[in-house]
Amino acid sequence: MLNLLTLTTAVLANAGLAADQPAGSIEIAQAYIAAYERQDFEAMREFMADDAVFTDPTSFDLAFVREPIHWTGADEILAGVSAWNVARGEYHLDRVYEAAGRVVFDASMDVFYATSEGERGFRYPIVTIVTVENGLVTEHRDYTGFNDMAPILDAETNQ
C-alpha cells in the first residue's frame, strides 16, 4: 500500500523538488487529484483526513442524480466514488492556484466508463477545490457543469 510519504516523495521528485522539502498544499492536492484521476482508491485514502468531506453542491436536487454527492469520511467517500464505476478521469487544467490551504483546479474533465460496448467518455467543465490542512485533504469540493456534459468522440480522446 502506498503511504503519504511515498506519494509525497514521488510527487516532489516529479516536480523536481528536493525530497526533504515539506510538501506544500498544492503538491499534496495535485497528488491526491492524480490518484483520483486513476481511480486509485487506496492512494486517495492515504491523503484523506479522518473527517474528510467530499461534496458537490451542483449535484443537489438534480432529478438524474439519485443521491446528493455529499460524503464524510474515507470509507463513505470511496464507496460513493467507486460506485460511479468510472474507469479513469482526466483533468484538463486551465489554472491551478492555492490560497489559505484551498487549492483551486479550474478545468474541464473527461471521465471514461468501461461498458460492454467499449469505453465511453464524457467531458464537462468543473471546478475542484481541495482543502489541505496539516498535510491531509479535509475537503474535496466540486462544482460540476452537469448541464454541459457532452460525449467525447473517439477522435477527441487523443487530444
Partner 1 sequence: MDLITFASLSVILVAQEAPDTRPSDAETVARDYMAAYSEMDLDRMEHFLSEDAVFTDRTALGEDVGPDGLMYESRDAAMGMLREFDAQYQPIELGFVWDTIYESNGRVVFMGHVNALYPTQDASQNYRWRAEQVTVITVRDGQVIRHQDFANYANPQRGLVPAN
Give residues in contact with partner 1 (CB under 8 A): 57-62, 64-67, 80, 83-86, 94-95, 97-102, 104, 106, 113, 115, 120, 122, 125, 127, 129, 131, 133, 143-151
Element (DSSP H or E) covering residue 102: strand 102-115
Rounded least distance, CB 3 to partner 1, Å: 26
Residues 6+ apart with CB under 8 A from 73: 50, 51, 52
Q: How far apart are CA 103 and CA 34, in angstroms?
A: 14
For the bound state, the minimum distance from the C-beta of residue 86 to partner 1, rounded and expressed in Å, comes to 7
Please identify, using beta-carbon distances, which residue of 19 and 150 lies nearer to partner 1. 150
User: At residue 44, what is the residue type?
Assistant: M
Query: Are 143 and 158 a contacting pair, CB within 8 Å?
Result: no
* Least distance to partner 1, CB of residue 61, Å: 6
The conformation of residue 61, written as its DSSP 8-state character, comes to: T
In the complex with partner 1, the residue whose CB is nearer, 7 or 103, is 103
